[in-house]
Structure 1
Amino acid sequence: MPSPTDTTSDESTLLDALQHQVAIFARRAEQTRLGGLGQVRNSMDRAAYLLLNRLDQEGPMGVKALAAGMGIDSSTVTRQVAPLVDTGLVKRTSHPEDGRAVVLQLSPRGLARLREVRESRRELMAQITDDWSAEEREMFTALLTRFNATITTRTSDRAPAAPQVPTES
């Protein structure tokens, strides 16, 4: 029967291996940018892909909502969206209920481009995991999703709280 010290040592070894593999994954992902295959390879940076993907999945929204949904600052979203607007992948439109507010919307060109990049990245994932079973792909996807969700939760839990404005009673 393993002693508590052995278990702690085994767990430490496993966690060391995990953090090392995550570091390698981050490097490999950045090296390839997991950008897909063919002409589309590396043609869209991670920030653009994530922004376009969110607009496609959730529809038009304001900068603040987009930033909150992605767990980043509004100024970062504004900076990242600017070239997408300039290239016609995203368009700014008036909010349907409040004409003074601006919402960001995926343009038809942006949707076509996103679909092209998704297909290329899908093919890359198929090639990388071509010797994996369907169950292994599902398990890896589920665990990676859980891993990312936990990081998101921990990061948002540690974010500094917005200063509270005193209200008059």
Structure 2
Amino acid sequence: MDMTTVGDTGLLDTLQHEVAVFARRAEQTRLGGVGQVRNSMDRAAYLLLNRLDKEGPMGVKALAASMGIDSSTVTRQVAPLVDTGLVKRTSHPEDGRAVVLQLSPRGVARLEEVRSSRRQLMAELTQDWAPEEREQFCTLLTRFNRALSARMTVQGPTSADQPPAS
């Protein structure tokens, strides 16, 4: 079934356009928050720190799997976080040869500072929304992100994501 003919194509056109605009604006501002913390942490760092905070210490492979990205990408993205003292490498408690990544106390404090700034931004952007509208938007955006994630899991990277053949 061709999904572009299902429902209102005008609505689907508006949806794809608004998603594209959102992605561009989110990247331009990085939805970094307000005040001095604004734009002070890139998306990859925020997502990695957030994942370690929510799921606890883990190895590179487990972190990559939980985020749906390649281990080499996680290794590359974690390196500056280790260098700046936001993440520390420690020995695995059960297998001393294995290394796990965990937030340092500095990382915990920095993540909370960024979260607080971003919460303030979300409050400002939605200040004239009813609480139910905020909840509905959050529910729908979460659902949309899960659908995108599931699609990527099933299909893998698109040809646009693949390096050109040599």
Look up the match of 1:30: 27
Runs of 5+ unmatched residues, structure 2: 158-166
Deviation at 1:159, TM superposition (A): 2.1
Deviation at 1:11, TM superposition (A): 1.4
Structure 1 stretches of 4+ with a deviation exceeding 3 A read none
Task: Report the RMSD for the aligned CA atoms in angstroms.
Answer: 1.1
Look up the match of 1:59: 56
Partners of 1:101 and 1:25 in 2: CA distance: 40
Q: Deviations over 1:89-136 (max 9, x none)?
A: 000000000111000000000000000000000000000000000000
Code of the aligned partner of 1:24: V
Does 2:94 correspond to 1:100? no
TM-score (norm 2): 0.90
- Superposition pairs of residues 15-164 of structure 1, within 5 angstroms: 15-159=12-156
Change in Cα spacing, 1:104 to 1:12, as seen in structure 2 (3 Å) is same
Change in Cα spacing, 1:151 to 1:10, as seen in structure 2 (3 Å) is closer
Look up the match of 2:164: none
Runs of 5+ unmatched residues, structure 1: 1-7, 161-169
TM-score (norm 1): 0.88
* Identity within the alignment, %: 78
Code of the aligned partner of 1:27: R
Give 3-state SS (helix, strand or coil) of 2:116's partner. helix
Aligned residue pairs, count: 153
